Structures are given as C-alpha cells and as structure tokens.
Amino acid sequence: MENNIPLTTIQRWMQSVIEHPGTNDEAWNSEQAQKELPFDEAYANVLPSKTLTPVERIGIYRKMFFLRMTESMAIDYPGVKNVLGEFEFDRIVAEEYVKKFPSHSYTLNHLGRYFPQFIQETDLRNKAFLYDLSRLELSITNNMDAEESPIVHQQEIASVQPDQWEHAILIPIAALEMLEFDHNVCEYLDAVIEEVTVPEIKNERTFVVVYRKTYRTYWDILSSQQYFLLSALVSRKTFSESIALLVEQFPDSQEELQQKLFEWFNEWVSSGYFSKIKLR
Amino acid sequence: MTANKWNLSDFGFGVGLRSVHYNYILENNPSVDWFEVISETYLESGGRVRYVLDKIAERYPIVLHGVSLSIGSSDPVNFEYLKLLKALADRVKSPYISDHLCWTGVNAHNVHDLLPIPYTEESLKHIVNKAKQVMEFMERPLVLENVSTYAQFASSSMSEWEFHARLMEESQCGMLMDVNNIYVSAYNHDFDSKEFIDRIDPSLVCQYHLAGHTNKGTHILDTHNDHVIDAVWELYRYAYQRTGGRNTLLEWDEDIPEFDVVHEEALKAKKYRNEKPDPTMMNLPRPTIAPKMRLTPVEKNELVNSMSHKL
Ligand SMILES: [Fe+2]
C-alpha cells in the first residue's frame, strides 16, 4: 500500500537535511527539516539497512554534499583557501557560503560566483585582502570559460595607414578583464600555485590584466599608466582619444610615455589582447 | 540477445572523457571506439574544453552523459538547460542523451548529487511526464541510468527495477544499465542483482557503464576510483548475454591513472563478452558491521564520486 507523503515533501525535507551544516542530529532536527516533515515521520520514511540507521544513511549524502562543495570551491579559490587555512576555508564554505548562495546552476563551475560578494559581506580576518584575492581568482576561473576570439596579428597592425590610426578602435578579445586591487594579490597567488613560501600580505596598489592566449589564462601586472591606456582602449575609445586621455592624466611623464607607447602596444598585440581593429 | 528498440548502433568499448587525458588523446589519437562526455562541462564554455571536445568529436563518436537533468525532481523540466543541451548534442552529433534516474535538487537548488527517488505511483507518473517532454524537445532518445543509492524510502510501493521498467514502458525512454551501480545498490539494500537484470526488457537497454567502487564494510560507495571488481564483470557478462552488444563505457573519476590503463580496463569487457560465465561469482558478499564512518582526509577522496569535481 502506498503511503502518501508527496514526492515534493520528501525532496524538500531531504534537501534541507543535506544542506544543513552541523551534525546529522542538528540537520534532522533543524527548523527547516521539521517544517517539511516532523522527525518521527521522516525517520519512519527512511529505511534502515542491516548496518546503518536512517540517520547514518542520509548522513552519507550530507557528507558527500559538503565535500563536493568545499572541493569545488578549493579548485576555484586556492589562494583564499591558503590565507584562511583548510579548516577555516572548509568551515566557511560549508557552514556559511553555500547556505547563503546555494547552487542554482546545472554546473558546479558556477558555485563560486558570489564568493567575493560573500567575503565583502562577512566578518573575516584579512577581509580586504581576501576580497581582492577572490576577485582575481574569480576572474581567472571565468576567463577559462570565456568565448574564444580571433586575434589581431602584427601584420594587420603594420598594414594600418598612419592617417587611419587616429580613429582606429581596438576591440579586445572576450577573454580579457582588467582589475584593480589594493594588495599584492598576484604575487601571493603565484606563490600558492607554485607551492613556494607565500609573501607577506601587503597593501599595494596593483593593476592587472587577466587574459587568455592559445587557451591558457594569464594574469599580468601593469603599471598605472599602462592600465590607464589599456582601459581606455578596451572601453572602445579611439586610439587618439585614448592617448590624449593618458597624456592628460599623466602630464609630467609626457615624453617618457611617447617613447614607451609603441613598445607597450606591440607587447599587447603579441600577447593577443585584441581581436579586431575597426578603421573608419 | 536482442536488438535495441531504437536501432542505435553499438559503438563498442568507450572511455569517459576526462580533462586529465585531453593532451594525451589529442597527441596520440588512441584507438578508442567512442567517448562519453559529461554534458555540463561543455554546455557554455567557450574555452579550452570546448576546443578539445570539437577536436575529439571530429575523430570519435561522442555520447552526451548529463548529471543535472534531475528528471526525478518534483520541479518542472528546465527548458533553459535543455536548450543548451540540445545545441551541444547537435554539435557533437550525440545519437541519444543519457542522464540518471534520480533527482539533484528541488526548489531550483542543485546539490550536485544523484539522489534516490521514492518508487511510488506518484513519482512514476511525474517522471513519465517529464521524460516525454524531454524527448520531445531533444528530438532524440533519452536513456536513463540506474544510480548507486545509500538510502531507500518506506513510502516506496515498488522495487527499483519495477519502477525503471515501468518508466521505460510508459515513457518510451531507454536504459543505461550501470552494472556497478546495480552491484553497489544490491549490497547497500540487500537485494539480488541478477533479479534486477532479469526484470529489465533487454531491448530497452541502450548502454552499459562499468566502474570501480569502495567497500566500506557497512556500505559501498560509488567512487569510480579503481579497477572494476570481478563480481561486477560477471554481472556485465550476465547482462550482456541477454542484450548482446551495446555501447559499453568505463568510468574512472578519482585517482585517475594514465589513459592506457583506463582504456585497457574498458577493453577487458571484450573478454567478458566472449568467455563462459562463472556462476559462483554472482553470489554477492553481504554487508559486514564495520566501525562508524569518520571524516578523515583520506576518506574525502573516497567519498567524492564522479560528480564531485568541477564538471
Ligand atoms: Fe554510471
């Protein structure tokens, strides 16, 4: 005979138990779980095995859930994990982050999307550094999945006539993002990835371009002037507008800038930052 | 032996495509019959994974295997997800799509696990209806895999195999028979794995899965982290004798060895198709009482199965 607990009730109950941090007992007795199914009814509806109680059987799913969440987040955020330490990282992800931002996506790749926001809203030691580092790590993760774009080659650049440059607009590749930080996040993350001693956490204005070339993701540090110019270019300002803005922003370095401009530009083209030149 | 209802061709012995093997496959073109790919990894990525998939699809037959259809969830069908899935299936020419007879979340959550369904008339009706919608939208057969489960509901009014058989009959979907999952669930719930196989119409079986698992004493975890054990090979042989050749796929998701090791394991299936059965292997061991589970770093890897890592 069929007992009549609706499918949706069983599922809402089981999900609330799986997602509840803490012990099995706390999860089964949580307000949310009790709201779906009172303990006794839920207990009677999960069959014991010869060796495991209903609580232990659902406990297998609970453990796997938190392991999957913490492992998935650790892949995206090795730097943040290193700052917090494994225990604290796992605790924060399991007890706080996935509760606040449960996965609504078909893929675990999206699980970490709100981690910088979460860090900003949470009371943590080294919070400002962690916020910067998490933004860098999220940008790197997103970069790996961004659309592939064709790239502009040096020959195309060479074929642009001098009078065409003034109005030329450079279209960046899809897999390029520019970020500003107040800490030495690149240095820190590189050390974590290379498994060498991490540097001390420092306040340090840092300008970064995250980009992909031949399906590999890179993050390069730029000077403030480079960052300013590249930001202008990728925001679709014309070549001459971008240079004018740069000179206006850094009036004291005008001569030096003129010397360096083409060197930078060549480097950026060969790094594959641009997918197209639009000429008027 | 019997033909499958959809006349899907038997590609032979395949391997689950995993990112650790990308370079090896691209450089060496191993003589694998076909690849099964986890759909969710490729649905929206424009990066390297998509590039690699396109290259591999040029050289090998591909079948899409999903983990987030959540056909058993009381939530409605997610057509946004299906739209992406259909575009990918067209792109790699997947002759059918497979996923699992399970649910992965409710109220639009995804807990990224293959959760057990209460086998009731209500669930059946609901899943039949969803499966029909999926097949109509996808314009290709939907093939559902039996999953390893660690819990059962008292509210179930039928066995897993009866539920699966009726679902196929009423919705016209097919089955991906994971013989390791049959073994794991038979151990965890103390049923006869042969009976499971006997009760499934062989013409509705479209594919096989084989994998390794971890026996914890009190229960088995479907970890996909090792060679296939002999008893599971025997189940494969037993099932094969009823169905004949079907796409056969080896899954290896944790502690993944070199590509050749995985491929050789998949090719063992050939031998089991041709040799005489050993009936003594069919007797399953029974669960033993073992110490309670404790969460240790070692156990972490054992616990996390095929869905654990980034898809
Ligand atoms: Fe499987």
Same domain for A74 and A153, yes or no, is no
In a 10 Å sphere around its CB, with 0-12 CB exposed, 13-18 middle and 19+ buried, how is residue A239 labelled?
Answer: buried
Distance B178 CA to ligand 1 centre (A): 5
* Residue B205 bridge partners (DSSP): B175
pLDDT band at B311 (very low <50, low <70, confident <90, very high): very low
DSSP H helical segments within chain B, as ranges?
Answer: 22-28, 39-42, 48-59, 79-92, 121-138, 160-171, 179-189, 193-198, 230-243, 259-274, 297-303
Q: Does residue A84 fall inside a structural domain?
A: yes
Contact A2 B120 (CB under 8 A): yes
Is residue A48 less than 8 Å (CB to CB) from chain B? Answer: no
Q: Does residue A130 fall inside a structural domain?
A: no
Total domains in the fold of chain A = 2
How far does the CA of residue A182 sit from the closest CA of chain B (Å)? 29
A154 or B109, which is more confident: B109
**pLDDT value for A154:** 87
**Distance, CA of B213 to CA of B71 (rounded, Å):** 25
Q: Does residue A140 fall inside a structural domain?
A: no
* Residues in B touching A10 (Cβ below 8 Å): 118, 153, 155
pLDDT band at B296 (very low <50, low <70, confident <90, very high): very low
B35-73: per-residue pLDDT in tens? 999 999 999 999 999 999 999 999 999 999 999 999 999
Is residue B115 less than 8 Å (CB to CB) from chain A? Answer: yes
Nearest partner of A8 among B156, B106, B111, judged by Cα: B106
Q: Does residue A25 fall inside a structural domain?
A: yes
Write down the CATH number for the domain with range B13-306.
Answer: 3.20.20.150
Residue A1: closest CA among chain B residues belongs to which residue? B157
Distance B139 CA to ligand 1 centre (A): 23
- The CATH number of whichever domain residue A159 belongs to comes to 3.90.930
For A258, the domain range is 146-278
Mean pLDDT of all residues in B210-232? 91
Is residue A193 less than 8 Å (CB to CB) from chain B? Answer: no
Mean pLDDT of all residues in B148-167? 96
Same domain for A47 and A78, yes or no, is yes
* Residues in B touching A23 (Cβ below 8 Å): none
Same domain for A67 and A166, yes or no, is no
Contact A64 B113 (CB under 8 A): yes
**pLDDT value for B287:** 47
Is residue B278 less than 8 Å (CB to CB) from chain A? Answer: no
Same domain for A25 and A70, yes or no, is yes
Residue B157 has pLDDT above 60, yes or no: yes
Q: Does residue A131 fall inside a structural domain?
A: no
pLDDT band at B300 (very low <50, low <70, confident <90, very high): very low
Within the 221-280 window of chain A, which residues sit less than 8 Å (CB to CB) from chain B? none
Tell me the two tokens of residue A259: 């010397």
User: Which residue bears the tokens 């919705």?
Assistant: B171
* End-of-domain residue from the set A125, A156, A171: A125
**pLDDT value for A262:** 87
State the greatest distance between any 2 C-alpha atoms of chain B, in Å, as a whole number: 52
* End-of-domain residue from the set A63, A92, A125: A125
In degrees rounded to 5, what are phi and psi of residue A50? -65, -25
B201-219: per-residue pLDDT in tens? 999 999 999 999 999 989 9
Q: Which residues contact A224 (CB under 8 A, 6 or more apart)?
A: A205, A207
Same domain for A154 and A274, yes or no, is yes
Is residue B295 less than 8 Å (CB to CB) from chain A? Answer: yes
Read off the pTM.
Answer: 0.91
User: Which residue bears the tokens 């390069």?
Assistant: A220
Same domain for A223 and A165, yes or no, is yes
**Distance, CA of B216 to CA of B201 (rounded, Å):** 32
Same domain for A164 and A259, yes or no, is yes
* End-of-domain residue from the set A125, A160, A179: A125
Same domain for A166 and A111, yes or no, is no
Q: Is A252 helix (H, G, I), strand (E, B) or coil?
A: helix
**Distance, CA of B216 to CA of B155 (rounded, Å):** 27
Q: Do A145 and A109 touch, CB atoms closer than 8 A?
A: yes
Contact A68 B113 (CB under 8 A): yes
Name which of A227-231, B2-6, B295-299 the model is least confident about.
Answer: B295-299
Same domain for A168 and A107, yes or no, is no
**pLDDT value for A3:** 59
Q: Which residues contact A276 (CB under 8 A, 6 or more apart)?
A: A150, A152, A170, A171
Same domain for A97 and A203, yes or no, is no
Same domain for A117 and A167, yes or no, is no
Same domain for A263 and A195, yes or no, is yes
Residue B31 has pLDDT above 90, yes or no: yes
pLDDT along chain A (280 residues), means of 10: 82 98 95 96 95 96 96 96 98 96 96 98 97 98 95 90 92 98 98 97 98 95 96 96 93 86 92 93
Distance A141 CA to ligand 1 centre (A): 28
Distance B103 CA to ligand 1 centre (A): 15
Is residue B152 less than 8 Å (CB to CB) from chain A? Answer: yes
Least CB–CB distance from A65: residue in B43, B111, B289? B111
Distance B37 CA to ligand 1 centre (A): 12
Q: What is the ipTM of this complex?
A: 0.92
Distance B306 CA to ligand 1 centre (A): 8
* Residue B65 bridge partners (DSSP): B38, B98
Residue B261 has pLDDT above 90, yes or no: yes
